[in-house]
Structures are given as C-alpha cells and as structure tokens.
Amino acid sequence: MADASKSCQLEQRSQVLNETTRSVTIDERKKTARKRWQMLAQVLKGSSTTELADSAVSVRRFQSYGLLSTEQNVEENSKEDSDGSSWFSYSCKDLPGFSMKIRHLGGAVSAERLNGFNNTGNVCVWPSEEVMTFYCMQHVGDFKSQQICELGGGMTCLAGIALGISSEAQHIVVSDGNEESVDNLEQIIERNDFGVTSVSARLLRWGATKMDESLRSRFDTVICADCLFFDDGREDLALMIFDLLKPGGQALIFAPSRNKTFHKFAELAEKTFQVTTESEYNAVVWNMHCKMLSEDSDIYDESLHFPIMMKLRKPTEPTESRDTTPESR
C-alpha cells in the first residue's frame, strides 16, 4: 500500500493517537502529552498538516501489512476539487482482476475535526481494516446473496466496498458514526461498479442512534474493524450488532488487543453471543506478523497492531430484541 501509506503516515504522525501512549513509560507519556499540547497550539494557530508532520511530534510507525496494493488514480484525481482528498486504485496480487476506486480524505487537522465526532476513521485505513478486507476476499464465496452491514468502517469501509464488488451479496450497508466518513463513502459508492449487489452508505452510531426498524434483525453478517478500544462504546456496539443481526447471523470482527480491550469486548459479548476468537486465521497474515515481530520490533507492537479475529454468532432461538438507544435502557 505504498502511496496510500505515505498519506496515512502524514496523518498518523500529526494525530498522535492514544494508542502510542499506552505502551510507553511514564516519562515518554509526559513527553507525548507535551507534544500533543504543542500540536494543538499549532492547529489553533492554523498550521498545515505538512508543518505538523515536520515538527517534533513525528514518530515512525507501523502502517500496513502490504496485503493490498494502491496507486494514485490519476483520472479520478483530475476531476477532484483540491480539498486534499485523493483517489486510489486498490488491487491485490492474490486476486487477479480485482480493483476498486477508493477516496482518502485529505485529513487536514482543524479545530472542527478535533472538536467533532471521533475522527480516527478519517486518518488512514487501519491494519485491521486491511486484514479484514483481505480475509473477506479470501472467503468471498461465503457472502453470496447475503445482507451485510459494516459498522465503524471509517472513510473507506474497505472491506464492505470490496465485498460489494466481488461477493455477489444481495445488499451491503457501509457505515460509520462520523458524517465526513459517510459523505466520503457515498462518493466511493458512486464511482464503483457493484454488479448484482446494491450498496448504500449510512450514518450509524452505536449508543446514540434510534435503531431504524428496517435494519433490525436484517443482516446475515456484520463486519467491523478496530472499533473495540472505545471504553464507553463496547456495550453499545455489542447491542447494536445484536439488533442488526438475524437470528443465526454472524459478526466478523478484527481488532488488535489494544491493552486487552479486545478481550474485554469478547467477555462482554459472551453474555449474548456464541463467541470464538482466532489468531492464526490466515497463513499470509500470520507469516507477515511473525516476520514483523522478529525484524521490525522497534515499530511493530503486537498489542497495538496485530488484528485478532472474533466471530459472534447470534442465537437462532428467538431472543428478546433490544433498542440500542441509551434512553431505552
């Protein structure tokens, strides 16, 4: 993912997300906090992302397993206004003929973005989404004729879009809780050909959205990548997945351990779902992971980067359906 990784790197560097602070010492935490305040001051003064990336805030980071290839889509970019966003053509050497047009947001750091709804899905495509996409494409036959919903897919919903192009699913809803992500998803849908599959983008927020009755118990599969680390969101996410799935339906989740937040979600989900977790779910990913552990241990942290797979099965016997709005609980 060479080109896309560069733009990811710029944004990742300037955002200095929480994940970096979890595995460092107290001294390093203090330094990071100081840098964050410096960055915030720069943002409020109107600094560009380039200036921010060049500042002392920068850190070298792991960005992708290189499972997908990306190159700038010159034709699509020539039609764009210069708002900093870019179109990429994604392909995969293991999937001859597969290609999708994906728009990445420019991601300039602004006070609006810092103050608005969670922006982590507009920063880059995170490794869990990359791996989930690769995994889904390796099992594409399983999704034929299904109703699928991607939750928290960020600005690309890469896996949902890839399934839309290749799986012959009946319908796919790609979603996120961030409006800017959803606007971007609408543009991506317009520019790709999904054949027999219909694809739509929606703003879906666990914990805040009144469940649209047309979505309740509708989906065979819910997919979700790297959304388990929000401490105040895990219960709401589990409830939303439960309400979206048909009885017997399955959620496919990829996320790193991130300070055991993966395991906290699994524990919580066990109350309502049949839960299985797996680390060696794909030989290519596992080999890459082992290689990174041995060769790039300075930038690769298993707890932050390696996506573990979790499957949640909703029971087939009728269970009481619940509303996901906080007021209803």
Ligand X SMILES: C[S@@+](CC[C@H](N)C(=O)[O-])C[C@H]1O[C@@H](n2cnc3c(N)ncnc32)[C@H](O)[C@@H]1O
Instruction: List contacts with ligand X (CB under 6 A).
Output: 118, 120-121, 125-126, 128-129, 152-154, 176-178, 181, 205-207, 225-227, 230, 233
Shortest distance (Å) from residue 157 CB to ligand X? 7
Question: Measured between alpha carbons, how far is 307 from 219 in angstroms, rounded to an integer?
Answer: 23
Residue nearest to ligand X (CB): 121
**Residue 253: which of 11, 169, 268, 21 has the closest Cα?**
268
Longest dimension (CA), the chain: 57
Sheet (strand 198-203) strand order: 198-203, 171-176, 147-151, 219-225, 245-255, 308-313, 274-278
Task: Please say which residue, 166 or 184, places its beta carbon nearer to ligand X.
Answer: 184
DSSP notation for 185-232: HHHHHHHS--TT-EEEEEE--TTTSPPPTTTTT-EEEEEEES----TT
Task: Please say which residue, 176 or 220, places its beta carbon nearer to ligand X.
Answer: 176
Task: Please say which residue, 8 or 47, places its beta carbon nearer to ligand X.
Answer: 8
* Structure tokens given for 157: 């919903």
Task: Please say which residue, 47 or 131, places its beta carbon nearer to ligand X.
Answer: 131
Shortest distance (Å) from residue 100 CB to ligand X? 15
- 300 and 252 in contact (C-beta within 8 Å)? no
Shortest distance (Å) from residue 16 CB to ligand X? 14
Task: Please say which residue, 11 or 129, places its beta carbon nearer to ligand X.
Answer: 129
SS3 249: strand
Q: Are strands 86-91 and 99-104 parallel, antiparallel or unpaired?
A: antiparallel
Shortest distance (Å) from residue 254 CB to ligand X? 8
Shortest distance (Å) from residue 283 CB to ligand X? 22
Shortest distance (Å) from residue 264 CB to ligand X? 16
Task: Please say which residue, 206 or 300, places its beta carbon nearer to ligand X.
Answer: 206
